[in-house]
Chain A
Amino acid sequence: MGGREANVVLLDENGIRSDGRKVNETRKVTIKAGVLKNANGSAYIEFGGNKILAGVFGPRDVHPKHMSNPDTGILRVRYHMEPFSVGERKKPAPSRREIEISKVIKEALEPAVMLENFPRTAVDVFLEVLQADGGTRCAALDAASVALADAGIPMKDMVCACAAGKAADALILDVNNEEDQAGQADMPIGYMPNLGKITLLQLDGVLTPDEYKKCIELGLEGCKQVYEIQKNALREKYFSSSDNS
């Protein structure tokens, strides 16, 4: 068994992980679209122990004006962890990590959102992590994508995300907090399933070239499972009474 903390049993002899999952199993994911009345679009996601709210405003005027682009709209993302979202109180001011995650989520959404239709405007995405349990960037990206669709922002595809990684020398899907802390690698992946394009790929840890390829394949399987849940959340809100497809 590898890892940074040797006393945590990440994978037992039967191939079962510390939270009872198999290596290729995601945590339970539930998404609800349109949960906030005052936002143009919103979504709430529970991804295992993660609880995240997403709110979308826009397209709207850009303030400060100098940030606006005459050729296209701009996307702004704020990922924020509530002080009570982790075991020890987190300072509410944006941390270095939150600024980084805001940036990677923005860049993961940009290929899907058709901002060129709205020059000089901004679309703002607010992501509030109410409870964190490892893999918040993927969960937040999933919620943001549903909230953008709920707001009616034109998108070429949904963006779904799920992490894969390595713990106890085995490749695993959907890395939880324990596995993130004590495991050997964590690879969050953002994916546009219909266009077949990866929009987010990070890797924290060490993998061989063969493991790297398998990890991506595993992560994409997770993304596809999440995509089905995203679709169901939107269908439940908009077509539950009049689905004729």
Chain B
Amino acid sequence: MNQKQSVIPGDIIATGDYRPEQNVVLVGDKLISTAIGFSETSADSVSVIPITGFYTPNADDLIIGKVISHNALSWEVDINSYYPGILLASDIFGKDYSPSRDDLSLKLTIGDIVLARITGMGSRDPLITIAGENLGRLDSGELVKISSTTIPYLTDSIIQTIESSTNTSITVGKNGLIVLKCDNSTGLTKAIKSIKMIDMIRDSNSMEEKIKNFLDEDN
């Protein structure tokens, strides 16, 4: 069983023996939505996929962030969330990092865009890392910001469709930031418009077809 319905905060999705998952609370025996979105009811659980709101950091999420400041031990990165991401200096300099010897500004400066991964929640803010394949500073490309709730609609197949049609390389951060690289300005403009269109439509049923039609125009 998998019923999907549009919900707003306070809507009772189900009553009875279900497990409340993402954006659902259990009050008495009522499973209540806490967000605007689409509810999904499976055999034993209920969840809501939100369509508005902000990015909530989760471990292993691939995100794109902007360095906003640093202190002696770490960089603070804007990850389009209500908490900044913390990139520890030891993540780049290694365990023998010394604040007196190593200069953080040589590696990353304020305004740099980085592709990073959330490693977990620190004692206060989420910790991020740029140690890993393809992670690190992004030196070129166009940064596009969309709602993080649109990201689930950007499926691999839609991204491949846009990439192949516009000759663009697209890197999607789960936090709603996207970097597009393209040598051709027309292709880049079209790819950006496609992404913005997905942010507007948010309808998984007809999305791919609409994007294909849009990309086929003028081709």
Interface residues of A (CB under 8 A from B): 40-41, 58-60, 112, 114, 118, 120-121, 149-158, 192-195, 231, 234-235, 238-239, 241-245
Contacts and interface: CB of A to CB of B under 8 A. Distances in A.
Nearest to B5: A245
Nearest to A123: B82
Contact of B82 (A58, A157, A195, A245): A58
Interface of B: 4-12, 23, 25, 27, 30, 32, 34-36, 38, 50-54, 82-83, 124, 149, 202-203, 205
B35 A231 contact: no
A155 B82 contact: no
A235 B8 contact: yes
Contacts, number: 82
A154 B11 CA distance: 12
B34 A154 contact: yes
Contact of A238 (B5, B34, B51, B83): B51
A194 B11 contact: yes
Nearest to A59: B82
Given A152-B35, A156-B32, 5 more contacts: A150-B52, A151-B52, A156-B34, A238-B6, A242-B203
Contacts of A243: 6
10 contacts: A59-B54, A152-B53, A154-B34, A155-B9, A156-B34, A231-B8, A238-B51, A243-B6, A245-B5, A245-B6
Contacts of B32: 156-157, 194-195
Given A149-B36, A152-B35, A152-B52, A121 B82 contact: yes
